[in-house]
A = this chain, B = another copy of it.
Amino acid sequence: MQPHGSLTSKIAADYPWAASPLIVSAPMAKVAMPKLAVAVSKAGGLGFIAAGYHSDHLEDLLEEAEDLLLEGKGDAAVESEPGVPKFLPVGVGFITWSASLEKALPSFSKYCPAAVWLFAPPKGFQDLIPWVTKIREATSSRSKIWVQVGSVSDAVEVVNAIDPDVIVVQGLDAGGHSLARGASIISLVPEINDKIRQLRPYPKKQADVLAAGGISDSRGVAAAMALGAQGCVLGTRFLASPESMIAHGYQKAIIDSSDGGISTVRTTIYDKVRDIHGWPEGYDGRGLINCTYLDDLQGLSEVKNRELYREELSKGDMGYGPKGRLTTYAGTGVGLIREILPAGDIVKSMHEGVQKILNGQRQLKL
């Protein structure tokens, strides 16, 4: 048995540049681009690039990531010798009900990103079988398979369908899209951990469990380790980094917000006004409450709300905030985020903070 919460040798082997616990930046659609992912990996974490709803520009994105990885130094190196297959120390995330496997595959053959994150299959997790089979084929299983789940039954289904390398356990605190109903990682991580160890008893390969949802600083990371996670995924925290591809108004709203359980809400209206349709049943997204949501609550029609949304876009940065209308996905940990920090510094502060917490606990007399 591995020491509780440690970077297991499997994770250490799969992401050899990364420090323990594994700190991951989430593949946030439209926001997590190569700059963010590379900054996180270079600082000893694992950064994900969002292929998002489509896979059209994946090759360009990975080429950009490769260029950034070759620039300067960092913990994450890129192997780029002639004759040696490439391997990029970043991941790629897909919203699988919408993205195209066929379009994505050539990029996997060419660049072999360290991990692929599969989220929200249209019907069930068996829909992921072709993704997993072909990506493992294309990369000789060097691209590790990550699947995001939001319930114990999802985790069981995933293990039985595709035996993933990593299960990302997303709690209800998470910003952006996830299951509309669920628990936080407090109960979800230990229960899923127990369950997958029952399904695949040692010495069978067991998926590593990573925690996501509500974690914004090292206290959340240390908590996730205590719960049995081998690492953490952070989304909202990385929104407040210069490497994120988001509007300044969005970032300001993140910094200005507090009390995330009250200032955010789970809803589908923030997709509807942007004409994003097709999320499988049972999903919605958590974002900061603004006039789009409040008007929806008051019964404003979707058509009118969408019209107002489009007008609001012309306001740019001024369209964000509690009196604005623009979608501002964020998790309940938003109140812990008080400054914009370079993504690499965020990763390092997590590792240093966890070290301090563990040192403090070492002095405890229980």
B-contacting residues of A (Cβ < 8 Å)?
3-6, 19-21, 150-153, 171-173, 179, 181-191, 194, 213-217, 219-220, 222-228, 258-262, 265, 331-336, 351, 354-358, 360-366
What is the total number of copies of this protein in its complex? 2
Report whether B187 and A173 are in contact in the complex, using a CB–CB cutoff of 8 Å.
yes
Instruction: For A355, list chain B residues within 8 Å (CB).
Output: 366
Q: Given contacts A20-B364, A187-B214, A219-B227, could you give 9 more A-B pairs where the C-beta distance is less than 8 Å? A: A3-B361, A3-B364, A4-B356, A150-B261, A185-B186, A186-B223, A187-B333, A191-B260, A191-B336
Chain B residues near A214 (CB-CB < 8 A):
183-184, 186-187
Known: A362-B362, A366-B19. A183 touches B152 (CB 8 A): no
Residues of B within 8 A of A219 (CB): 189-190, 226-228
27 examples of A-B residue contacts, CB within 8 angstroms: A5-B357, A5-B360, A5-B361, A6-B363, A20-B364, A152-B261, A153-B262, A171-B184, A173-B183, A181-B262, A183-B261, A183-B332, A186-B214, A186-B223, A187-B260, A188-B332, A189-B219, A190-B217, A190-B220, A191-B333, A194-B336, A226-B226, A226-B357, A354-B366, A358-B362, A358-B364, A358-B366
Given known contacts A152-B259, A190-B220, A258-B152, A184 and B182 CB-to-CB distance under 8 angstroms: no
Contact A364 B172 (CB under 8 A): no
Q: State whether B4 touches A187 (Cβ < 8 A).
A: no
Contacts of A261 in B (CB 8 A): 150-152, 172, 179, 181-184, 187-188
A309 CB to closest chain B CB (Å) equals 24
- State whether A366 and B191 are in contact (beta carbons under 8 Å apart), knowing that A185-B184, A225-B361 are contacts in the complex: no
Q: In this complex, which of A227, A228, A265 has the most chain B Cβ atoms within 10 angstroms of its Cβ? A: A227
The answer on a CB contact under 8 Å between B366 and A153 is: no
CB pair B336 A190 closer than 8 Å = yes
Question: B residues within 8 A CB of A181?
Answer: 261-262, 265
Chain B min CB distance to A178 (Å): 11
Instruction: Give the residues in chain B near A336, CB-CB below 8 Å.
Output: 187, 190-191, 194
Given A261-B181, A262-B153, answer yes or no on A4-B216 (Cβ-Cβ < 8 Å): no
Give Cα distance in the complex from A265 to B152, angstroms: 16
Q: Is B191 within 8 A of A259, CB to CB?
A: yes
* Chain B residues with CB under 8 A of A365: 20
